[in-house]
Each structure stands twice: as C-alpha cells, then as structure tokens.
C-alpha cells in the first residue's frame, strides 16, 4: 500500500467502523450463517429495507466480514463470527460502545482539548463525567457493561498468559479492585484452588446477580462481591489486582487508589496492575491510540512502565517487575508493600 493509500485508508476509517457498527446493531451477523443466504431473505427476517440492506451487506463483504456470492447471496466469515452474540470472544459489545452515539460525540472535542489542555469529552458534551453518566442512563449502562464483558474474555486470556509462571502459593486472598462481574478473578481462582477472592465494585455493577461470573463458573463459595468505593477504602487482602482501572484516572486519583491499597495491605502484600503499557518511541502500539480515547472519555491516560513505577512509589509501594504475554499487548505491573 502506498503512502497515499495509507492516508486515505486512515481518513476513511470512520466509514468502516460505522458500517460495522450498523451491521452489528441491526443484528446482521446473527442472521447470516455459513450457508449462502439471499440479501432479501436477510432483510425480511430482520425487518429491513431490501435494497439498502443489500448495499450494507455488500460493504460488509468488501471489508471481510461476509462473503458475497453471485445472486446477492451472503455467508459469514471468521471475522464476522467475532462480532456475533454467541462467539466466546465476541467484540459485539465493544463495537456498540465505541461506535455508539455517546462515544462518537465526544471525539469532536479532541482538537479543543489539545488546545486548552483540559481533557474529558464526556464532561464537555454531556456535563457529566462518564461514570456519573453511566449511573443516570440505563441504556448506556447496559451497553457499557456489555462492552466490558466483551473486553474481558480477551484480557483474561492475556493476563493468564502473562502470569502463567507467577507464584501464587503464598497468597491466600486476592481482591479484584473494580473487577466488574468477576471474569478475571474467577479464572485466576480456577487455576489456584488455595485462593479466596473478593470483587470490589459499585453496587450498580454487581446488583444483577445473573451477570456475575462466580455463580456461572461454580466459584460462589470462593468469590464474594463487595459493594464499595475504591477512592474511600479497599478490603484487607494478601494481594490485589486491577485490570484497566488506573488508566481511567489522572495521577492524583491513581495515587489515592493505590494509597488505599497500601493502607489495607500487610507487609509484603502485592498489587498487580493490568494495563496497556506504552513502549518506547520506536514501537507502534495500541496503547498510543487508546491513550487518545482516554483523553476524550476520562481524566486518565495510558502510561509507560516507569510512570506506573512512579505512581507506586508515590503511594508508598515499590515496583517489583512487569509480566508480559508473548504479544506484549498488555502488561501486568507488580508492586509490593515493604
């Protein structure tokens, strides 16, 4: 691909993401199967306009999510399978969130934020910070939680790979701070039978018991859910884990969370911080793009290994090491209380 073509491809990236969002929102991928199916049959099944549906299906096929055969017949591809509701690593929730109306709207403030040095497009667009907006908007909250579940399957796999050689033998209790529905901690408990787990979360996140992974994975006797606020206090535990939490917050807010962990920890206690870690200037990385999303959505940012080590030090903890999966997509920063 020439430089010109790369620029055009980047420029038109929003076209592609919005076409995919529309296909997901209209449940195109639930209707299209492995056997070729006529566009009009798909449209009728979903209650869509036949002519415009064909054009959408054709565009999705051009992007690799569907196969198009002669006679306007379509079947699903492996890429399309990844956005179906029933795929174990579905990205459907992520697409509905990141290309939905709220997240679409906040990006228009990016240039002004870079000019005046004040981030948080949610506050600019809606007059609320994102977590306040979540609490006041049930429809957005449902999509947000769905997206976090979509992310969880991939993140959990990467964390387990990064920590496959980690010595949990001296740890009896593990607290997942901001642990959502408990997907990560339940998978860790599954591999370490001596562990007891706690998920610290907002009441609004854990009140729907049907969504909690402890019950679904048969871990209810080993994993409890505790409603609370990590900015006020965390429960006592031998070790703590936080997945994609600190990147939501600015440095002062991060130090507050880590200081609460430091206070609740016993000497030698551990904290495992799971994040997309920014590598050096020579390395292109997802974290450098995700960092701009954090600029738009919250007060936080993606950080380097040294910057996370500095946050630990400011909270009275020491940096130990960083554990990576092979892909280095994420990292697990290990800190300790002396």
Q: Which residues are catalytically annotated?
A: 247
C-alpha dihedral sign at 270, 273, 274, 278? negative
Would you tell me the crossing angle of helices 305-314 and 251-264 to the nearest 10 degrees?
Answer: 60
Strand pairing partners for 319? Answer: 335
Q: Residue for token digits 């999303």? A: 293
Burial of 315 (0-12, 13-18, 19+ CB in 10 A): buried
CA-wise closest residue to 22 among 50, 56, 54:
56
Tell me the CA end-to-end span of the chain in Å, nearest whole number: 53
Residue 229 CA to residue 247 CA, distance in Å, equals 17
Tell me the H-state helices in the chain: 3-11, 13-25, 28-31, 39-46, 50-62, 78-81, 92-98, 101-106, 110-116, 121-126, 130-136, 138-162, 183-191, 203-206, 213-216, 251-264, 286-297, 305-314
């Amino acid at each position: 691909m020439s430089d010109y073509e790369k620029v055009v491809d980047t420029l038109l990236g929003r076209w592609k993401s919005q076409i995919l969002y529309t296909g997901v929102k209209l449940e195109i991928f639930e209707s299209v199967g492995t056997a070729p199916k006529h566009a009009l049959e798909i449209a009728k099944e979903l209650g869509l306009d036949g002519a415009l549906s064909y054009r959408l299906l054709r565009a999705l096929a051009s992007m690799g999510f569907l196969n198009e055969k002669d006679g306007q017949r379509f079947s699903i591809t492996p890429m399309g399978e990844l956005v179906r509701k029933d795929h174990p690593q579905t990205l459907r929730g992520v697409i509905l969130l990141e290309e939905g109306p709220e997240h679409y709207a906040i990006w228009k403030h990016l240039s002004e934020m870079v000019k005046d040095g004040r981030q948080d497009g949610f506050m600019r667009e809606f007059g609320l910070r994102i977590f306040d907006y979540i609490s006041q908007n049930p429809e957005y909250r449902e999509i947000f939680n769905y997206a976090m579940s979509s992310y969880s399957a991939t993140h959990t796999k990467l964390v387990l790979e990064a920590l496959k050689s980690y010595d949990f033998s001296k740890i009896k209790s593990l607290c997942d701070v901001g642990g959502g529905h408990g997907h990560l901690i339940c998978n860790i408990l599954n591999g370490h039978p001596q562990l007891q787990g706690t998920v610290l979360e907002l009441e609004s996140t854990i009140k729907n018991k049907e969504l909690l992974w402890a019950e679904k994975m048969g871990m209810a006797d080993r994993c409890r859910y505790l409603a609370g606020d990590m900015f006020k206090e965390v429960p006592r535990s031998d070790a703590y884990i936080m997945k994609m939490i600190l990147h939501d917050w600015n440095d002062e807010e991060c130090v507050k969370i880590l200081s609460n962990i430091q206070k609740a920890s016993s000497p030698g206690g551990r904290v495992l911080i799971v994040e997309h870690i920014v590598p050096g200037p020579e390395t292109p990385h997802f974290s450098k793009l995700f960092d701009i999303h954090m600029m738009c959505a919250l007060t936080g940012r993606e950080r380097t290994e040294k910057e996370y080590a500095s946050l630990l030090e400011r909270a009275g903890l020491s940096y130990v090491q960083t554990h990576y999966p092979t892909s280095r997509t994420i990292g697990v920063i290990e800190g300790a209380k002396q």
